[in-house]
Amino acid sequence: MDTCPAQPGQARPRLEVADIFRAVADAFRERYVPTREQLKVFFAILLCRTARLGGHLDVCKACGYKTPAYNSCRNRHCPKCQSLAQARWLEERRQRIIPTKYFHVVFTLPQELRALARLNLKTMYDLLLACAARTLLDFGRSRLHAEIGVTCVLHTWRRDLGYHPHVHCIVTAGGLDDDGRWIPARSRFLFPVDAMSVVFQGKLLEGLAQLQKRQKLSLAGNCAHLAETAKFTALLSRLYQKEWVVYAKQPFGGPEQVFSYLGRYTHRVGISNQRLVSFDGRDVCFRTKHGKTCTIPAVEFVRRFLLHALPAHFVKIRHVGLLAAANVGTKFETARRCLEAPAPDKADQTLPAPTPPSWQDLLLALTGIDVSVCPMCGVRAMERRKLPVRHPGRSDLDTS
């Protein structure tokens, strides 16, 4: 597990999501019945970087300074555990970047399908991601007569933590044709958004109809009426008549801008600790956008936060087309050769692959903190001693 020492002078958020969880844990569980996955997220955040998870005692052999470094929960929904995971991921992705411009396209699940998605998280998220990717790949084939590269990232929240499933897609500004040539896209826009909206709408609704036909959808609670074929068909009909919107942003300037963007989006959670403004024991105030804030009861804050817990083992970042894992050694390399200088000679290619950076190296790069240097005397004399794990009692982690 990663550990994070308490460094003197290190800027720690005055208020954390975990503080709110601890304050209203009993009230939340009295009012709501969270799912198993939500409970795992709930308790991971409660225990993250506390003595309950164990850790190390960092001791300076020069001056005797001591400070605990508690283990992280490493849960992907935890606001405190994403920086190192994000840095590791970005380091890996730097080896898989095509040197071209990139476009940013957003596909959103219609509001009428959000209740259905809440009952069928994995099924509906898979469908949303697949339809977004397939829409872009099909347009690449029909408009450019080439295979493009796409990275898809699922987000499920608005800035006020409301439920809003949507997919951010980073798309190469061009693709590889069947003859191995790079075909560039237009410089100002990728594909017509109106046409993409219609195609995306058709793919998603057709996929939804197939899921219902194969009885792959859970229909209960607010969606129980959709078990009737006539009502399900009526829902699809209304959605076909509705105008869907696919949002396209201005293109990125190049790979470095793409990495800057990905660094903000790939491992983002519903809300960061830095966006919290205040908590008076009853209400939570947090920043939304454009300088505005939102204030809601703390129990409602926890409920909204846990709405965004993903199914176990669900992959929310997916690479398709030229960026798919299956194409790394073939089409991807061909595309890179088309767009950059010739590959280094064989002597250079025989050099061993660089060793992945350790979490200590990543922490130093991200924060400037060198955990081997004593923060009190400045001597590189810190020694790490393991702390015991304090196993929580059944009453603390009861998920029944």
Residue 116 burial (10 A CB sphere; 0-12, 13-18, 19+):
buried
Taking the alpha carbons of 236, 242, 243, 244 in that order, is the dihedral positive or negative? negative
Could you identify the residue written with the tokens 């200590």?
A: 360
Going residue by residue through the chain (400 aa), what tens digit of pLDDT does each one get? 455 544 444 445 689 999 999 999 999 999 999 999 999 999 999 999 888 888 888 888 888 888 888 888 989 999 888 766 666 777 777 777 888 889 999 999 999 999 999 999 999 999 999 999 999 999 999 999 999 999 999 999 999 999 999 999 999 999 999 999 999 998 788 899 999 999 999 999 999 999 999 999 999 999 999 999 999 999 999 999 999 989 988 777 777 777 667 666 777 889 999 999 999 999 999 999 999 999 999 999 999 999 999 999 999 999 999 999 999 899 999 999 999 844 444 444 444 555 666 656 655 555 556 777 888 888 887 888 877 666 555 444 444 3
Residues 6 or more apart whose Cβ sits within 8 Å of residue 248: 103, 104, 105, 106, 189, 190, 193, 196
Helices 82-93 and 359-367: crossing angle in degrees, nearest 10, is 100
pLDDT given for residue 158 in this prediction:
95
Structure tokens at 27: 């009230």
- Only one residue has tokens 């998870």, namely 53
pTM exceeds 0.95 for this model: no
Q: Residue 395 has what pLDDT?
A: 46
Do 98 and 336 meet the contact criterion of CB atoms below 8 Å apart? yes
- Measured in degrees and rounded to the nearest 5, phi and psi for residue 99 equal -75, 80
Furthest CA-CA distance within the chain:
77
Question: What was the pLDDT predicted at 69?
Answer: 80
> H-type helices in the chain, by residue range?
17-31, 36-47, 82-93, 114-119, 121-139, 193-213, 229-241, 255-265, 298-306, 331-339, 346-349, 359-367, 394-397
